[in-house]
Amino acid sequence: MIPPDLQELQSNGVVGAGGAGFPTYAKLLRPAEVVVVNAAECEPLMHKDKEILRHYPEEVISGLKRVMGLAHARQGIIGIKNKYTDVIARVGSLVGDSVRVHALGDYYPTGDEFVLVKETVGRVIPPGALPLDVGAVVCNVETLWNVHHRTPVVEKFLTVAGAVRTPCTVRVPVGISYAEAIAAAGGATCPSYHLLIGGPMMGILETDVQRPVTKTCGGFLVLPVDHPLVQRRKMTYQVINRIGKSACDQCSFCTELCPRYLLGHPIEPHKAMRGLVFTSRGTTMVPGTEFCCECNLCSLYACPEGLDPKNVCVQSKQMIRAAGKKHPQAGQPCQVRPMAEGRKTPLPNLIRRLGLDRYDNHGPLRPGVLETRRIVLPKKQHVGPPAEAVVRPGDRVAKGTLVAAVKEGQLGCSLHSSMDGRVTAIDPEIIVEA
């Protein structure tokens, strides 16, 4: 049973808008000491959180104070990159006594919850634990913008970057197609391209531009099909394992730069690579890989051989989970490694290494909200089982009408129409409106 004061967040469909999609009410079921606003936005070329803070600081601070009240937290901290001096000055002048702005270095992955909490609160979340285990709740900027509005979540901010004429941040109805967002950014500048949804580091490859923008999409990159980042995403596990097994020289750079290793967690990706050699199947369970946050720094930046320790760690992690094994250091306190400060990865270096310097941009927010005549709403836009449709084909709907809900007692959030129109189709995964 969700407490009444959190029920509104569930019925309005408020989920983590930074990519994870965890229902916000579920983060607030236990009290916290501090609420940290994640405005670090360390995915290269992504800008929507900084833009929301720049244009709507009062709304974000109001949402933060509401969440602080719901979590019984006495302190709020807004973590934002120190390079955004104008935003820091403006937000700093509005926050009041219980909230402070924390200027973060321009590193990757400062937006990782574990790194962010260590930087802003000064506490290290133990391996396998949650921010709440050290008294913190982390919320994305846009999530707080949604909390402030106290209405159904039907719009989304996202940055459209890469090979487009006018890279920018746009505000769109949830369910609009990627193609419409690309058109709003002036169209693609190359004839044949794919998308990296979420950004170049942790983003997912998408080849179909007609697929819909969801509540969790913070932006995407348009890249030519022959860009190395696209080609890397197309490699199969089999090829990753075969090349890794024969080419890894065990230099351990992947471990030395791994942000979770530097926090003191017992993860060493070079050992996962070593593990490839010891099994004919090409994959083995290597303890510690369950703490990999999949930031991709080892594969896309650290490894001098261009190998893919991240995906090897992910395979190992999946096997460990399937086997139900528990690491002896899970949940145990740990110490930041002494060399951590000097091993941070500067964002400009990363952008160069990724071959993205020619696409660098500031993602300015375009005024207004894009309009559309058709939306596709996936029923699963949150962590937990999909919502179930409460409308039928042919039903008239208005912007904000409830179209899908989760069963009582299940983790998840309601889903609403983002336009005035009619339901044209429903299948097990999506609701289509026009």
> For residue 145, with 0-12 CB atoms within 10 Å meaning exposed, 13-18 middle and 19 or more buried, which class applies?
buried
Whether residue 224 contacts residue 323, with contact meaning beta carbons closer than 8 Å, is answered with no
Tell me the closest approach of the beta carbon of residue 382 to ligand SF4, in angstroms.
Answer: 24
Tell me the closest approach of the beta carbon of residue 276 to ligand SF4, in angstroms.
Answer: 10
The residues near 367 (Cβ < 8 Å, ≥ 6 apart) are none
What track of x and - describes contact with ligand SF4 for positions 256 through 275 (by CB under 6 A)?
--xxx------x-xx--x--
Of 2-10, 169-177, 303-311, 411-419, the segment contacting ligand SF4 by CB under 6 A is: 303-311
Q: Does 108 bind ligand SF4 (CB under 6 A)?
A: no
What are the structure tokens assigned to 221, written together?
């990159």
Q: Does 21 bind ligand SF4 (CB under 6 A)?
A: no
Q: Does 125 bind ligand SF4 (CB under 6 A)?
A: no
Kindly give the pairing relationship between strand 168-173 and strand 136-140: unpaired
Q: Does 115 bind ligand SF4 (CB under 6 A)?
A: no
What track of x and - describes contact with ligand SF4 for positions 358 through 387 (by CB under 6 A)?
------------------------------
Tell me the closest approach of the beta carbon of residue 248 to ligand SF4, in angstroms.
Answer: 3
Nearest-angstrom CA–CA distance, 415 and 172 = 16
Q: Does 198 bind ligand SF4 (CB under 6 A)?
A: no
Whether residue 39 contacts residue 143, with contact meaning beta carbons closer than 8 Å, is answered with no
Among 248, 351, 419, 426, binds ligand SF4 (CB under 6 A): 248
Of 80-88, 114-122, 204-212, 250-258, the segment contacting ligand SF4 by CB under 6 A is: 250-258
Of 149-157, 158-166, 293-301, 373-381, the segment contacting ligand SF4 by CB under 6 A is: 293-301
Q: Looking at beta carbons only, is 343 or 374 nearer to ligand SF4?
A: 343
Q: How far does the chain reach from its first CA to its final CA, in angstroms?
A: 35
Tell me the closest approach of the beta carbon of residue 204 to ligand SF4, in angstroms.
Answer: 15
Bridge partner residues of 195 (DSSP):
206, 222
Whether residue 78 contacts residue 100, with contact meaning beta carbons closer than 8 Å, is answered with yes
Q: Does 329 bind ligand SF4 (CB under 6 A)?
A: no
Whether residue 112 contacts residue 259, with contact meaning beta carbons closer than 8 Å, is answered with yes
Counting residues that bind ligand SF4 (by CB under 6 A) gives 28
Kindly give the pairing relationship between strand 99-104 and strand 107-108: unpaired
Nearest-angstrom CA–CA distance, 14 and 28 = 12
CB atoms within 10 A of CB 379: 22
Given the rule CB under 6 A, which residues bind ligand SF4? 248-254, 258-260, 267, 269-270, 273, 292-298, 302-303, 305, 307, 309-310, 313
